Structure 1
């Protein structure tokens, strides 16, 4: 059964006709064409699908479109304005990208953390980022990038 849903993504409201239990990730990628958010495991374990929902890092593969009806969703596409977000710039500066597949989720998770704790310690960064997996094992550079963004 399909229903009409209104969701706010990157500051714009979109009307989507879909089932209420459909994953937000699928709506973002397939209906709205926002392919920066990646499908990884489909179980909320790898973090590739991380977006911000009302400023909180959230796994979009296990979040239904119905759950974001009254929320504001921010994806990697909505992060930068005329200039890169400081976390995005730090990822470039620290060479925190190898294959790049995990980067949108890593960036969004880091942004969520730093909005909550702008001067997060290295231990807080390690703990907060531990749920985002990098198959290239570039964790040292990822941690350095988030540390740079705290400055």
Structure 2
């Protein structure tokens, strides 16, 4: 009781993408499509816990979602875009 699960579909509000999703689009951080949802959700989770992560904290936060497509650097740029 008292727990909730947010899926990638649950990030959209009022027909607008979540800022992390928008940044992923702008940075072209979706290569293979298999890892994108996981990377976005890891990024959203990271930013909830730490709204201003440094480079190492971003890499650590995405560690669970490594993919062979090599989009990790673009995902990092997308997160940096969100935090400004």
Q: Same fold per TM (> 0.5)?
A: yes
Equivalenced residue count is 83
Secondary structure, in 3 states, of the residue corresponding to 2:64? Answer: coil
**Which has the larger strand fraction?**
1
Structure 1 moving runs of 4+ over 6 Å: none
**CA–CA distance in structure 1, aligned partners of residues 17 and 9 of structure 2:** 11
Correspondence list, 1:120-131, <5 A = 120-131=53-64
Following superposition, the deviation at residue 86 of structure 1 comes to 0.5
Matches within 5 A, 1:45-64: none
Q: Hey, what does 1:23 align to over in structure 2? A: none
How large is the RMSD of aligned CA atoms in angstroms? Answer: 1.1
Of residues 72, 75, 85, the one that matches 2:4 is 72
2:5 is paired with a residue whose SS is: strand
Instruction: Give ranges in structure 2 of 5+ residues lacking alignment.
Output: none
Which TM-score applies when normalising by structure 1?
Answer: 0.52
Q: Report SS of the residue matched to 2:81.
A: helix
Q: Which has the higher contact order (CA 8 A, sep 6+)?
A: 2
Normalising by structure 2, we get a TM-score of 0.91
Structure 1 residues without counterparts, runs of 5 or longer: 1-68
Report the structure, 1 or 2, having the larger helix content: 2
